A and B are shown apart, each in its own frame.
Chain A
Amino acid sequence: EIVLTQSPGTLSLSPGERATLSCRASQSVSSSYLAWYQQKPGQAPRLLIYGASSRATGIPDRFSGSGSGTDFTLTISRLEPEDFAVYYCQQYGSSPLLTFGGGTKVEIK
């Protein structure tokens, strides 16, 4: 059974700083099937990145994804006030069919 481990659990940063979020899989994940989501309080998650590195429709280019195999990264180049939220990675295809990571909270320092 595949497990996605996100780190750090909480990231305390200031607006304008760079955020680097990690998602590590317990076994290899196809890059085609790795996605990232942003969730704000009281809202449904929003798709940011799919295929490990492709931005979803309407997502600003300060968001970027990279990685392969078992190690994936979401980078926010310069944090805007609206970027403070919880971020989840998700894989598709390995047993179980779909898995989410535990999340990383990006909070204002």
Chain B
Amino acid sequence: QLQLQESGPGLVKPSETLSLTCTVSGGSISSSSYYWGWIRQPPGKGLEWIGSIYYSGSTYYNPSLKSRVTISVDTSKNQFSLKLSSVTAADTAVYYCARGQAVAGIDYWGQGTLVTVSS
């Protein structure tokens, strides 16, 4: 059974960089069939796609966040990571890592981790 687990600081100061890692277990992150992505959800609000990375290394980002986002993958550790720079209070959210396929939706999600931006 595939499992995804987010890890990283739960509190980040304004203007600093938010860094999260997603560890994948029970399957390989190197499969060409899937993309791996980050999605966030501000408290009481809806889901927002942040970006995705593919086995090829190609990355795609939400245009509204593109200038601040970097997603990378470490196949040796079966992990992928998110960096979001210059954070503000508006970046406070539950951050989910997930696996998806274009024609099959997002079938596995991490449990989510709350990141609060505050001084």
Do A and B truly interact? Answer: yes
Residues of A that sit less than 8 Å from B by CB: 1, 32-33, 35, 37, 39, 44-47, 49-51, 56-57, 88, 90, 92-93, 95-103
- In the assembled complex, the Cα of A47 lies from the Cα of B100 at a distance in Å of 10
- In the assembled complex, the Cα of A1 lies from the Cα of B100 at a distance in Å of 21
Cross-chain contact of A96 among B63, B102, B103, B110 (Cβ < 8 A):
B63
A-side contacts of B105, CB under 8 Å: 35, 37, 47, 49-50, 56, 90, 92
B-side contacts of A99, CB under 8 Å: 49
In the bound complex, do residue A37 and residue B107 qualify as a contact, i.e. CB atoms below 8 Å apart? no
- In the assembled complex, the Cα of A86 lies from the Cα of B105 at a distance in Å of 17
In the bound complex, do residue A97 and residue B103 qualify as a contact, i.e. CB atoms below 8 Å apart? no
In the bound complex, do residue B107 and residue A47 qualify as a contact, i.e. CB atoms below 8 Å apart? yes
Interface centre among B47, B96, B100, B109 (most CB of A within 10 A): B47
A-side contacts of B109, CB under 8 Å: 44-46
- In the assembled complex, the Cα of A100 lies from the Cα of B52 at a distance in Å of 14
Interface residues of B, count at CB 8 A: 22
- Closest 10 A-B residue pairs measured CB to CB? A35-B105, A50-B105, A44-B109, A100-B47, A98-B49, A97-B60, A47-B105, A103-B46, A32-B103, A50-B104
In the bound complex, do residue A98 and residue B37 qualify as a contact, i.e. CB atoms below 8 Å apart? yes
| Residues B65-119 near A (CB distance < 8 A) | 96, 100, 102-107, 109-112
- In the assembled complex, the Cα of A96 lies from the Cα of B69 at a distance in Å of 15
CB closest chain-A residue, reference B94: A44
